[in-house]
Structure 1
Amino acid sequence: MAHKFILGLATLITLVAAANCQSHSMTWGQRTSEDRLLHNSIEYEEFKPLQIVKRDVHFPKAGEINYATITCINATDQYINDNGGYVSLLAGGVNNNYTTLHIKSQWNHGFNFIIDI
């Protein structure tokens, strides 16, 4: 009986730990074998005490022109401890030649994303 209790408790602790170690990565679209990397950046912002930090990522940058069609956008959260930020698609995106992503941290935290378009 004690073994079942210990095994059940260990399973519960493992599930809770796994649930708390989530990242906030996002993917729009799907890569194909003909795709090429149009944009790669690391978007990092340190925390500001008692604040939420935000940033917009524009592709292409002002003054640049992109003739290729976007087929996939990956925003990989480097914080896997559930303290990372959130990324959302504001404009353009898949099947367009431009996009704007909005990155927002959790309160009192920073963010660290790898953006691949």
Structure 2
Amino acid sequence: MALKLMLGLAALIALVASANSQSHNMAWGQRISGDRLLHNSIEYEEFKPLQIVKRDVYFPKSGEINYATITFINATDQYVNDNGGYISLLAGGKDLCITMFVKFSYNYTFSNFILITIIR
């Protein structure tokens, strides 16, 4: 009986620990040999009381042209406690121009690092 209780408690602790270490990292495509960095940006938003901050991130930016082929898109959440921003791909993707949506939850300061690598 005590062994079952200990195993159950250990499983519960492991479940809570894994839930608390969740991040919202996203990756599209696959890195391959010869990839090089095309774009690197840090999306950052200060704390705003009781507000959810949303932003669209475009690549290439207005007025710019991208002649390279996007092979991999990586968006890394700087927080691993499930309190970071949410990243989703709205339009485009691998081999195309992209539009990403970044949503920062309220009551925290967040920084999302968005990394795009390409190959020609």
Give the letter aligned to residue 93 of structure 1. G
**Corresponding residue of 2:86:** 86
Larger relative strand fraction: 2
Aligned to 1:69: 69
In structure 2, the partner of 1:38 is 38
Q: Which amino acid aligns with 2:77?
A: D
Does residue 25 of structure 2 align to residue 25 of structure 1?
Answer: yes
Task: Give SS of 2:15's match.
Answer: helix
RMSD: 1.6
What amino acid is aligned across from residue 72 of structure 2 in structure 1? C
Number of matched residues?
Answer: 116
Shift of 1:108: 3.3
Q: Is residue 49 from structure 1 mapped to residue 44 from structure 2 by the alignment?
A: no
1:99: Cα distance to partner? 1.2
| Aligned counterpart, 1:116 | 115
Could you tell me how far 1:51 is from its partner in structure 2? 1.0
Q: What is the SS of the residue equivalent to 1:15?
A: helix
Residue aligning to 1:16: 16
Identity %: 72
Q: TM-score by structure 2 length?
A: 0.85
More deviation in 26-35 or 2-11? 2-11
- Aligned partners of 1:56 and 1:102 also within 8 Å: yes
Paired with 1:13 and 1:47, the residues of 2 have a C-alpha distance of: 31
Structure 2 unaligned residues grouped into runs of 5+:
none
